[in-house]
């Protein structure tokens, strides 16, 4: 049965049923942000793309808005953003439907976020060789806090995909910011762990000698070192591994971030969120969310994505002895990372 119009996301209503969501990328000029912006521009579910950063957004915005269909820079808008339209006859069409807009600097954060349905955050420092994700805490905690304050103020109902590391701590920080602002909805705050699943699928496919697109490995826990727990006993299609293979795969998946980082997984996760927001059924991805799957307040596991975000958190399923031992190690580190994020906010006045 068709849902009453009042219950549908505003972006869908505004387009008379045609899919079209307003998406902001915060940290759009960075390594992840630039590729992610390009990939989001290619997503047919996105009607408006706002690109925000503290530096370099004009160039990135021009670049992305030139994709394929002819882009017409229209100059600076009343709230300071710069507007590009991406269709030959854009002037005759609803600007909101086709615009890619760039925003730069703290004073434009509010304009960048206002009206957004989905906010994707890859803002903040990346690791250098030899660093752990937790080593980024001191720099990135404050960045995530101030961006989330902006979200609470300008688009409190948006779904947030948080990419900035350490995800295990930045998601609890975001939750505390939203609680303080009175806008917290656990379903709408999702830590991006899709890269762990992408790596797991790729590495398992290599061992099995099959196409990675045919493989699905649930990866639970968190997004750093031992908190990344691939459930190799639950691989689809069903298969088995030798103890050496399990040890090699677990290690490689847990440490994949030291090899390479990629925006593809973040775009894949955002697309899954948008399809859920549109109302597609059966969208299940792993994500780090507020959870009761373990005694910890946040945990990554399979979640069912729907109109409101993480609509259902799926159980872990049966674990073998190796995975149960891994889970205990993961929970210990995760608990400390969560507490670190919460304490950071408790000490913030
Ligand atoms: N969850 C995941 O799977 C992944 C997480 N990451 C994390 O994403 C973050 C970004 O990584 P990269 O793009 O490689 O770094 P980068 O240094 O290339 O880009 C970061 C961008 O954030 C911007 N930025 C800094 N402060 C900001 C603020 N207050 N507001 C808006 N933008 C701000 C910078 O100007 C820069 O353009 C890092 O923390 C990294 O660890 C990266 C890859 C995967
Ligand atoms: O490892 C890093 O620093 C970035 C990241 O989170 C990943 O690639 O999984």
Supply the pTM of this predicted model: 0.90
Top pLDDT among 172 and 90 is at: 172
Beta bridge partners of 229: 220
Q: Find the mean pLDDT for residues 188-209.
A: 97
Distances 102 to 61, 69, 78, 264 between C-alpha atoms, Å = 5, 18, 13, 21
Where is average pLDDT lowest: 13-22, 130-139, 233-242, 244-253?
A: 13-22
81 appears as a binding residue in the annotation: no
252 appears as a binding residue in the annotation: no
- How far is the centre of ligand 2, averaged over its atoms, from the C-alpha of 106 (Å)? 26
d(CA 96, CA 225): 41
Ligand closest in space to the Cα of 256: 2
Q: Find the mean pLDDT for residues 278-302.
A: 98
pLDDT at 9 over 90: no
Q: Which pLDDT score is estimated for 264?
A: 92
Q: Which pLDDT score is estimated for 131?
A: 95
Where is average pLDDT lowest: 156-170, 190-204, 247-261?
A: 247-261
Q: Find the mean pLDDT for residues 197-208.
A: 96
Q: Find the mean pLDDT for residues 153-168.
A: 98
Closest ligand 2 atom to Cα of 165:
6
Q: Which pLDDT score is estimated for 79?
A: 65
SS (H, E, C) the chain: CCCCHHHCCHHHHHCCCCCCEEEEEECCCCHHHHHHHHHHHCCCCEEEEEEEECCCHHHHHHHHHCCCCCCEEEEECCCCCEEEECCCCHHHCCHHHHCEEEEECHHHHHHHHCCCCEEEECCCCCCCCCCCHHHHHHHHHHHHHHHHHHHHHHCCCCEEEECCCCHHHHHHHHHHHHHHHCCCCHHHEEECCHHHHHHHHHHHHHHHCCCHHHCECCEEECCCHHHEEECHHHCECCCCCCHHHHHHHHHHHHCHHHCCCCCHHHHHHHHHHHHHHHCCCCEEEEEEEECCCCCCCEEEEEEEEECCEEEEECCCCCCCHHHHHHHHHHHHHHHHHHHHHHHHHHCCC
- How far is the centre of ligand 2, averaged over its atoms, from the C-alpha of 340 (Å)? 19
pLDDT at 68 over 80: no
Ligand closest in space to the Cα of 227: 2
Where is average pLDDT lowest: 22-31, 80-89, 306-315?
A: 80-89
Residue to substitute in 55, 56, 124, 287 for testing ligand 1 pocket (most ligand atoms within 8 angstroms of CB): 124
pLDDT at 45 over 50: yes
Top pLDDT among 260 and 174 is at: 174
d(CA 326, CA 312): 24
pLDDT at 288 over 80: yes
Residue to substitute in 165, 171, 254, 266 for testing ligand 2 pocket (most ligand atoms within 8 angstroms of CB): 165
pLDDT digits (tens, 9 = 90+) for 210-265: 999 999 999 999 999 999 999 999 999 999 999 999 999 999 999 998 887 789 99
Q: Which pLDDT score is estimated for 74?
A: 45
* ipTM confidence score: 0.99
Residue to substitute in 28, 32, 51, 270 for testing ligand 1 pocket (most ligand atoms within 8 angstroms of CB): 32
pLDDT digits (tens, 9 = 90+) for 72-112: 444 556 566 666 555 444 433 334 335 899 999 999 999 99
Q: Is 165's C-beta closer than 6 angstroms to any atom of ligand 2?
A: yes
Give 138's pLDDT tier (boundaries 50, 70, 90): very high
Q: Which pLDDT score is estimated for 84?
A: 58
Mean pLDDT, rounded, of the chain: 89
Q: Is 143's C-beta closer than 6 angstroms to any atom of ligand 1?
A: yes
Residues with catalytic function: 223
Give 64's pLDDT tier (boundaries 50, 70, 90): confident
90 appears as a binding residue in the annotation: no
Q: Is 124's C-beta closer than 6 angstroms to any atom of ligand 1?
A: yes
Nearest CA owner, ligand 2 atom 5: 257
Q: Which pLDDT score is estimated for 155?
A: 98
Q: Is 180's C-beta closer than 6 angstroms to any atom of ligand 2?
A: no
């Amino acid at each position: 049965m068709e849902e009453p119009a009042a219950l549908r996301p505003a972006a869908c209503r505004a387009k008379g049923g045609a899919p079209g969501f307003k998406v902001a990328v915060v940290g759009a000029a960075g390594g992840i942000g630039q590729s992610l912006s390009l990939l989001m521009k290619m997503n047919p579910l996105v009607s408006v793309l706002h690109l925000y950063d503290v530096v370099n957004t004009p160039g990135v915005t021009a670049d992305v808005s030139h994709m394929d269909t002819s882009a017409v820079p229209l100059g600076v808008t009343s709230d300071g953003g710069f507007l590009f339209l991406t269709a030959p006859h854009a002037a005759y069409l609803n600007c909101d439907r086709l615009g890619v807009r760039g925003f730069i600097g703290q004073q434009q954060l509010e304009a960048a976020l206002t009206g957004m349905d989905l906010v994707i955050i890859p803002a903040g420092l990346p690791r250098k060789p030899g660093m752990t994700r937790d080593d980024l805490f001191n720099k990135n905690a404050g960045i995530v806090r101030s961006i989330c304050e902006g979200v609470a103020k300008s688009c409190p109902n948006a779904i947030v995909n948080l990419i900035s590391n350490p995800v295990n701590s930045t998601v609890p920080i975001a939750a505390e910011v939203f609680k303080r602002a009175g806008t917290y909805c656990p379903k709408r705050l999702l830590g991006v762990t899709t890269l762990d699943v992408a790596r797991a699928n790729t590495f398992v496919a290599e061992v099995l000698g099959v196409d990675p697109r045919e493989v699905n490995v649930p990866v639970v826990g968190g997004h750093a070192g031992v908190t990344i727990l691939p459930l190799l006993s639950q691989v689809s299609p069903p298969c088995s591994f030798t103890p050496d293979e399990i040890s090699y795969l677990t290690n490689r998946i847990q440490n994949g971030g030291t090899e390479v980082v990629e925006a593809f997984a973040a775009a894949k996760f955002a697309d899954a969120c948008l399809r859920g927001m549109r109302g597609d059924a059966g969208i299940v991805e792993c994500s780090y969310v507020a959870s009761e799957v373990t005694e910890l307040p946040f945990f990554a596991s399979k979640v069912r994505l729907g109109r409101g975000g993480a609509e259902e958190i799926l159980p872990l399923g049966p674990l073998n002895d190796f995975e149960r031992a891994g889970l205990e190690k993961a929970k210990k580190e995760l608990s400390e990372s969560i507490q670190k994020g919460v304490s950071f906010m408790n000490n913030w006045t």
